[in-house]
Amino acid sequence: MKGIVIKVQPNLYSVKAEDKVIDCIARGLLKLKKSPILVGDMVQVDEETRTIQKILPRKNEFIRPPIANVDQLVIVVASTNPTPDLMLLDKQIVMAEKNGVEPIICINKIDLDADYSSIIETYENIGYQVITTTAKNGIGIDKLARIISNKITAFSGNSGVGKSALTNNIFNEEVAKEGETSEKLQRGKHTTKHVELFEFANNSFIADTPGFSSFEIEGISCKELADYFIEFGKYVGDCEYRSCTHIKELNCGIKKAVSKRKIDKGRYDRYVALYEKIKGEKKW
């Protein structure tokens, strides 16, 4: 039968298959493979021998945190407290786009007095789904639960934005400790590497891992960066050079679109900053 790996321990894999969780071992050959079995893997299991026989093709895979087949990344920012970090938000969107994961932006703590309308405008104009929530009293949770149903979803966002509170609200019980900073969590060993899938409704999984929150841009060259600022796509044809970096070139379609306010200036500025950062790291 087919199932999904929800937990990985040394030589033991918990597989959710047809309403049961089966603790399995892996067929010898699979253990030898360079790429190990990951949480999120769809697998073929033999129920009698409790053996994983085959890993089905992956949609995507991450090394840190170790997880496969993530459908969506819910990137959480707080309307305030902490102040939204749009650079971090854009980095996470870039990593999601690079890996074929749909980014969804969740503005939490809308009960607090803060103006977050420009964040909604900027990201909805690009075509991203933006939802607003108050984890504290459940506002927007129904919508969030609908969006993440029948999918594998990971939450990301810096410490204190309300990821644990949102998760607890979705499950309607305390599955994650609130107010616990990632620094605290990281003091425990292997926490950023620990990943587990929790099923909150049939076929709807939340990946519980602090690993997505601390990620830096990895494995992306400055050349491909513009591909993951998806709103640039419409205008790259207007650049004079096909190899345009959209930074110093004079006749650049992206820069023209920024000056005509077709592309958000803040997003463009963060693109430039990220580009320079990646380029600098490479030289170093």
Ligand X SMILES: Nc1nc2c(ncn2[C@@H]2O[C@H](COP(=O)(O)OP(=O)(O)O)[C@@H](O)[C@H]2O)c(=O)[nH]1
**Site residues (vs Mg ion, CB under 5 A):** 163-164
Task: Output the six-digit token pair for 248.
Answer: 């110093």
Residue 135 binding ligand X, by CB under 6 A: yes
Distances (CA, A) of 182 to 26, 57, 163, 211, 284: 32, 33, 11, 10, 29
Q: How far apart are CB 201 and ligand X at their closest, in Å?
A: 21
Residue 156 main-chain phi, psi, to 5 deg:
-140, 175
- Residue in 239, 257, 258, 274 binding Zn ion, rule: CB under 5 A: 239
Give which of Mg ion, Zn ion, ligand X, none residue 124 binds (C-beta under 5 to 8 Å, depending on kind).
none
Distances (CA, A) of 45 to 19, 42, 134, 211: 14, 10, 41, 28
| Residues β-bridged to residue 117 | none
Q: Which of 47-55, 93-101, 122-130, 152-160 is the region at the interface with ligand X (rule: CB under 6 A)?
A: 152-160
Give which of ligand X, Zn ion, Mg ion, none residue 154 binds (C-beta under 5 to 8 Å, depending on kind).
none
CA-nearest of 157, 182, 166 to 73 is: 157
Residue 20: other Cβ atoms inside 10 A: 10
Q: Which of 167-175, 208-216, 233-241, 263-271 is the region at the interface with Zn ion (rule: CB under 5 A)?
A: 233-241
Residue 159 main-chain phi, psi, to 5 deg:
-60, 135
Q: Which of 62-70, 130-138, 227-235, 243-251 is the region at the interface with ligand X (rule: CB under 6 A)?
A: 130-138
The nearer residue to Mg ion, 76 or 263, going by C-beta atoms, is: 76
Q: How far apart are CB 283 and Mg ion at their closest, in Å?
A: 36
